[in-house]
Amino acid sequence: MQKNGSIQTASVPPTQRAAIVSQATVRAASRLGLTNARLAEVLGVSEATVSRMKRGGYVLEHGSKHYELALLLLRLFRGIDAILGGDERAIRSWMTGQNTVLYGRPIDLIIKVNGLVDTVGYVDSRRAPI
């Protein structure tokens, strides 16, 4: 680990990193209450691809757009998990509740790239207010 608590991945090969990110994405999506169909929309892949990813038969390609979107989804999960203390019920409620600042429900907003980016930015700002 680095001094700031983040995991150092420089020595981990990209293919192994991609496998780790793929499985972490599946777990985070489950905790966020995302269905296979919704996760597929967020990542821009098919539902069948998400099913294969859950079984370990598909790994997001390191550096691809799908991989980058997965990293954003992981950042969203980590932020909301930290804010809500890991309470899965509260996390799912937040995802499906109307958010007046974001003008929508996060679960609906994150299917578009700009909605995912805006939601991540909002969570980041709530996590570490100035």
93-128 pLDDT, tens digit each: 999 999 999 999 999 999 999 999 999 999 999 986
Within a domain: residue 110?
Answer: yes
What total of structural domains would you count in the chain? 1
What is the per-residue burial (b if ≥16 Cβ within 10 Å, else e) of 52-66? Answer: ebbeeeebbebeeeb
Percent of the chain with pLDDT over 70: 90
Query: 99 forms bridges with which residues in the sheet?
Result: 104
Q: What is the pTM of this model?
A: 0.88
On whether residue 73 sits in a domain, the answer given is yes
Specify if 96 maps to a domain. Answer: yes
Q: In whole angstroms, what is the distance from residue 93 CA to residue 3 CA?
A: 33
**Mean pLDDT of the 21-47 span:** 97
Q: In this predicted structure, what is the pLDDT of residue 5?
A: 44
Give residue 91's domain range.
Answer: 14-127
Q: What gap in Å lies between CA 50 and CA 66, rounded to an integer?
A: 11
Average pLDDT of 20-39? 97
